[in-house]
Structure 1
Amino acid sequence: MKPADQLAAFVQDGFRAGHSAEELRDALGRAGWSDPEIDSALAGWSDHGLRLPVPRPRPSLNAAEAATYALLFFALLSVTWNVVALSFWLIEIWLPEPDSRSGYGTARSMRWSIAVLVVVLPLFLWLQARTDRAARANPGERRSPTRKNFGAVTVFLAALVLLADAIAVVFAFLNGDMTLQFLLKAAVVALVAGLIIAWFRSFLADD
Structure 2
Amino acid sequence: MRPADQIAQFVADALKEGRTRAEIAAALQEAGWAQNEVAEALNAWADTAFIPPVPRPRPYVSAREAFLYGLMFLALAMTAWNITTLGFELIELWLHDVTDRYSLYNVSTVRWSISVLVVFFPLFLWMNSRAQSAARADPGKRRSAVRKWFGYITLFLAALALLGDLIAVIYALLSGDLTTRFFAKAALVALTAGLIFLYFRGETAEAEDAS
Q: Under TM normalisation by the shorter chain, which class is it?
A: over 0.9
Deviations 1:145-164 (A, max 9, x none): 11111111111111111111
- Indicate how the Cα distance of structure 1 residues 96 and 2 shifts in structure 2: closer, same or farther if over 3 A, else same: same
TM-score (norm 1): 0.94
The reply to whether residue 148 of structure 1 matches residue 148 of structure 2 is yes
Listed one character per residue, the Cα deviations across residues 80-102 of structure 1 (whole Å, up to 9, x for unaligned) are 01000001111111110122454
1:117 equivalenced with 2:117 (yes/no): yes
2:7 partner amino acid: L
2:31 alignment counterpart: 31
Gap runs ≥5 in structure 2: none
Contact kept? 1:151, 1:201, Cα under 8 Å: yes
Q: CA offset at residue 60 of structure 1?
A: 0.6
In the alignment, does 2:71 pair up with 1:71?
yes
Matches within 5 A, 1:45-60: 45-46=45-46, 48-60=48-60
Structure 1 CA distance for aligned equivalents of residues 22 and 135 of structure 2: 34
Q: Distance in 2 between matches of 1:159 and 1:177?
A: 24
1:15 alignment counterpart: 15
Does residue 171 (structure 1) correspond to residue 197 (structure 2)? The answer is no
Question: Which stretches in structure 1 are left out of the alignment for 5+ residues?
Answer: none
Corresponding residue pairs, total: 205
Root-mean-square deviation over aligned CA pairs: 1.3
Q: Residue 82 of structure 2 aligns with which residue?
A: 82
For 1:176 and 1:77, locate their aligned partners in 2 and report how far apart those are by CA, in whole Å. 32
Aligned to 1:96, what secondary structure does the other structure show?
Answer: coil
Distance 1:13 1:69 in 2: 37
**Inter-partner Cα distance in structure 2 for 1:47 and 1:153:** 32
Tell me the amino acid that sits aligned with residue 149 of structure 2. Answer: N
**1:137 corresponds to:** 137
Asked whether the equivalents of residues 15 and 52 of structure 1 are also in contact (C-alpha less than 8 Å), the reply is: yes
TM-score norm. by structure 2 comes to 0.93
Code of the aligned partner of 2:38: I
1:193 is paired with a residue of what secondary structure?
A: helix
* C-alpha distance in structure 2 between counterparts of 1:170 and 1:47, whole Å: 51
What is the identity, as a one-letter code, of the residue corresponding to 1:175? S
Identity of aligned residues (%): 51
- Tell whether 2:161 aligns with 1:161: yes
